[in-house]
Structures are given as C-alpha cells and as structure tokens.
Structure 1
Amino acid sequence: MQLELRHLEAVCRIADAGSLGRAAVRLGVSQPGLSAQLRRIERAAGGELFFRGREGVRPTPLGEFVLSRARRVLGEMDALAAGARAAAPHPSLRLGCILLVLVDGLIEQLEPVMAGREIAVSLEHSVTTLTRMLGAGRYDAIVYGEVNDHEVPLPEGTLARTLIPKEPFCVRMSATHRLADRPLISLADLAGETWMTLVEDDDGGPEALVDACAKAGFTPALRYRIADRKMHYDLIASGRAISLSQPTAPPAEGTVLRPLDGEPINGRIRLAWNRAAVPARDADLLYRAAALAYLANVGHNAFHRTWWEARTELHPVLDPVPHPHPHPDGDR
C-alpha cells in the first residue's frame, strides 16, 4: 500500500486528538476502523507511528518524522487549493456545518440570493474539523454551535458573527416515557436514564451535559452516538434512550420534545467566514439566509415559539438584502 493524502490526514488527526477514540469521532469513522487503517499506514511507513497507552497515544520518533512531513505536504495541498480557487473566475461557496436543524433549509434560503453560484454544503461531526478546514481554505464559511460558556477558537484571517445568542436545549424522549405527559422536565428526574451521546464532542456540549447532571445529583449514562437522524429518533421512540435536542427540532413519530426546567444547557449558533474568500456582501447574504432558515423552524414546538417571542433581544437582525457594489477587483 502507498501512502495517500487521506492517510496523512488521518495520522495528523490522531496526533491532534491524542487518542484513537477522539480522532475517530472527528473523522466520522468507527474506532476499530481507524485502528485498522492506522495499522495499514504503519506497515506502509515501516514501523509504529504512535505509542499506545491508557491515557491515549503519542508519536514515536518515526511518528514525529512522518507527522512533520505530513503537515508540510497537507499545508502545500491547502495552499494549492486556495491558490487555484483564487484564480477561478466564478468560485463556488463552500460551506461547512455541524448537524444543526437550520441546515435543512439553508440551501433553500441561499439559492434565490446567490442565483448562478454553485453552493457546496458539507456536514462535519467536529467543530475542530470545521475551524481547521476554514483556516486551511477548504471551507469559505462555517456554521457551528457553542454550548454554555464554551468558546470555539477561530483561525487567523476569519471573521465571525453570532446568529442566535441563546437557545435552551430540550430533551427528546419516547412518547410512552413515564414523563412524556409533563410540560416541563426536571433534569433530576432523568437520573438513571440512558442518554444518547452527543455527536459533536468539541463544542462544549458533553461537558455541559455532565456538569448539569452533576448539579442535579447524578452522572449521565452515555451509550449511543448516532448521527443518522432517523436511526436516532427510532432508538428514542423505542424507549431505549433519551437525548438533548435543539428546541427547533421537528416532530418525530413516537417521540416528544420537552423543555428542561431552569434551562441548564444552552446553545449559541455562530457563523464564521474567511475574509479573503467571502466579500462583506456575501457574508451578509449568508447571515440572512441562515437566520431565515432558523426562523422557519421556530414554530415546530409551541413551547419554544412562546419562549422565543418573549425574547426579542435574541432575534437576528434582518437587514434588507444587500445589493452588489461595483468594484475594480470584482467585488473583493
């Protein structure tokens, strides 16, 4: 087997994450699959690249050598991609997102205001991956979340704008759950339940859940991590787990969504973009489209609509659609 760029990226992700488990989540693959891939990479490289231990992994001398060369190669490829894109007469808009509810309607909102532009939207399961790819020029803009006090560090050369300053997370449970008829759920009443592990592990969500449950007097039992929404909802409907959810999430057969008493876990939704690749006008259009996509989902749940309408200070500012301004460098 010959080493390929995807192999070099996997090695770098493992080193950055410090463990195969965390790297697997950020790469969107299973841990056994990543372990098998690493063994194949090590055979091609001629030796072990990482020392394995209880606390994670760390590079061997050979691993340090491969990592230094891999980062250089990947950096050159990123520079090549960015340079080619800058030379293109009509570049597409490359948007990276985590699995937020508003993503479903985002393209629909973008198409009318960016008619004629190719729009590529990709989903990632790691905010770290989003920001790294934004900094490397692989994404022009990203839409991501932060939970409670967590702040995602952004790469140099980017600008950011908060879309939704606060939304209180809810709990999704089976419609036959013992608490399903309650209009408001106390977190303490969920002790002993099996929780779905959050898909994103680097936006502050897992820490916020564990901390909130600790304050409620218990440690959550985290068992499943499922990115596919239908499988996620089917598991909950069967009564095998409960999960945190955005309050704008749509109904799902066999499940109910309930607010948590005291709003112990809150999210923010933010937009960041590469200022060299996204003109101010396009950033405004992207913000407006994301805001409209969010607002289209507010009515999914009556309790959130009531909460939202009472907090106008949180509403996104929707300025008129910006018009293009002639510029000798092509609106850049």
Structure 2
Amino acid sequence: MQLELRHLQAVCRIAEAGSLGGAARRLGVSQPALSAQLRRIEKVTGGELFVRGRNGVEPTALGQFVLAKARRVLSEMDALGAEAREIATGTPLRLGCILLVLLDGLLVRTDRSMAGQEITVDLEDSVTALARMLGAGQYDAIVYGEVNGHEVPLPGGSAARTLVPKEPFCVRLSEKHRLAHRQVIDLADLAGESWMTLVVDDDGGPEALLAACVKAGFTPSLRYRITDRKMHYDLIAAGRAVSLTQPTAPTAAGTVMRPLLGAPVTGRIRLAWNRSTVSARQAELLFEAAAGAYVADVENNAFHKAWWDAHPEAHPALG
C-alpha cells in the first residue's frame, strides 16, 4: 500500500480530535474502519503513530514526524487547488451566509475589491447546514454567527477567522412600549412579553436567550418566527412582540433599539473557507470586505458606537 492524501488527512484528524472516535465522526467513517486504516498506515510508516495518554491519543515521535510532513503536503495541495481555481476563468466563488446585518455591505465591498471574480451568494437559516455544505463543497466560504459560548464544528480542510469576537445583543421594541423611554433595559423587566424567536436556531441563540431569561427570573414566550424583515419590524412596531437583535441593525419605523443591562447575550461573527478552493489572497479580501461592512454599520446606533469605541479588543484584526 502507498500513502495517499486521504491517509494523511486521517492522521491529521486523529491528532486534532485527540481520539479515534472524534476523528471518525469528523471524517464520516466508523471508528473500527478508522482503526483498521490507521493500522495499515502504521505498516507503511514502520511503527506506531499514536499511543494512549491521559488526554486521549497522543502522537509518538514517529507520529510527530509524519504529522509535520502530512500537514506540509496537505497545505501545499490546498494551495495548489485554490490558486489554480483563482487563475481559472469562469469559476465563481460560492459564498453561504446566515442573515447578518453586514451582508448588504459585504456584497458591495466584494464587488469592488474582488472585481473580475464572480461571487454567488445564498442565505441559509441553519449554521449547521452552512458548515455541512462547506464540507461537501457546495460553498467555498461561509459567514456565520455564534451566540455566547456556542462553537460551530467546522469540516476538515477548512480554515476560519473570527471577524468580530464579541458584540452585545440589544432588544428591539415598539417606540410606544412602556420601556421605550429607558436608555438601558433590564431583561427582567421584559417578563411577560411575546418574543420574536431568532431566525437561526442552531447557533446557540435560542439557548442563550432562554438561559438569560431564566436567570432574570422568567421563561420567555416565544410566539413568532418571522424571516421577512418588514413583517418582523411591523409586528414589533405594533407592540405585539419584542426581539433580540444585532446592535448594528438599522432603525425601523415605529421601533427603538436599546442595550440590555449587563449584556446577557453576546454574539461572535466568523468567516470560514475551504482551503482547497479559496486562496489565501481571496480569504484575506473576503475578511477585509466583511470587516469593512461591519464597521460601516457600527454608527447605526449611538449606544453601540460608544460600546465599540470603549472595546478595541472587539475590533476586527486586519492584516
């Protein structure tokens, strides 16, 4: 048997996961099949690559050597595919996103900074679906959010950068709401309200809202799940619901946005891409376009502008 790229990928996934079971799940194979494959790889390399340690499997000295070579080869193959695809004409870059405020500005900026590169864009309601489709090759890059401590598992062969490490969610309510005059709202004072549930339901958002409300002393009534922005805003303006929202969101007639006391729910925005189809240059241009789009929206609300200026650690890390 000769070593193939899939064998090198398996060795790297085992090292990253720290267990055969975890690596098997990432690779989409059974643990017995991966164990058998590892034994065949070890016959070719001449010895054990992993041993059991206190924290799972750990690479041996030979394993460390093979891993270093494998990572270098896989990196070169990724670069070859991505750079060749960038040079090839007529190959669109496929971008998948959830509905984030920065999306409109991102498209404008990519059209300008990546002129000549056709980009197709699709919206998804599921972050899990975005990650799965990235791994399946249906998207070349994805822009998505995570709420509080939630982390979206990414497929092998992908890379990721955090665009905004933290943004405090705020609440949107009717301008006639009894609390609309307040500059900051205590979540506990929203007990008894009907809530607009978040459109994305697997980014940690629903769990974060529920946990924050329970901590504040109540269970939220999740009555509406509306994807149409106008209908969403109209229901809130009519006083029929309140909702969590990104602090960079634009104003909407009949509604106001207010920060929540103590920032009980925070978001994080990330960019991930397939290393074999997106070059380092393209990834950097995408990141810069998304960063520029986010920063352009910071001034939509004065309270977020003040928070942003006071928290430089939340700013995108541009090269």
TM above 0.5: yes
Q: CA deviation at 1:214?
A: 0.4
Q: Distance in 2 between matches of 1:99 and 1:286?
A: 17
Do structure 1's residue 223 and structure 2's residue 223 form an aligned pair?
yes
Alignment of 1:23-42 (within 5 A): none
Match of 2:151 in 1: 151
Identity rate, percent: 69
Q: Distance in 2 between matches of 1:246 and 1:135?
A: 28
Give the TM-score normalised by structure 2: 0.72
Amino acid aligned to 1:134: L
Q: Distance in 2 between matches of 1:273 and 1:91?
A: 16
Match of 2:187 in 1: 187
Q: Distance in 2 between matches of 1:271 and 1:120?
A: 16
Encode CA deviations 1:156-187: one digit per residue, 9 max, x unaligned: 11000000000000000000000000000000
Match of 2:165 in 1: 165
- Structure 1 unaligned runs (5+)? 1-81, 320-332
Amino acid aligned to 1:95: L
- Structure 2 unaligned runs (5+)? 1-80
Q: Distance in 1 between matches of 2:233 and 2:295?
A: 23
Larger-gyration structure (1/2): 2
Do structure 1's residue 129 and structure 2's residue 129 form an aligned pair?
yes
Q: Distance in 1 between matches of 2:265 and 2:317?
A: 24
Q: CA deviation at 1:88?
A: 5.9
Q: Distance in 1 between matches of 2:217 and 2:315?
A: 34
Q: CA deviation at 1:318?
A: 2.7
Amino acid aligned to 1:150: H
Amino acid aligned to 2:116: G
Match of 2:112 in 1: 112
Q: Distance in 2 between matches of 1:257 and 1:132?
A: 34
Tell me the number of residue pairs that the alignment of Structure 1 and Structure 2 aligns: 236
Partner SS for 1:177: coil
Encode CA deviations 1:297-322: one digit per residue, 9 max, x unaligned: 00000000000001111111233xxx
Match of 1:100 in 2: 100
Q: Distance in 2 between matches of 1:308 and 1:184?
A: 16
Alignment of 1:2-151 (within 5 A): 89-151=89-151
Do structure 1's residue 277 and structure 2's residue 282 form an aligned pair?
no
Match of 1:307 in 2: 307
Q: CA RMSD in A?
A: 1.5
Q: Distance in 2 between matches of 1:241 and 1:313?
A: 33
Match of 2:4 in 1: none
Q: Which has the higher contact order (CA 8 A, sep 6+)?
A: 2
Q: Distance in 2 between matches of 1:245 and 1:318?
A: 25
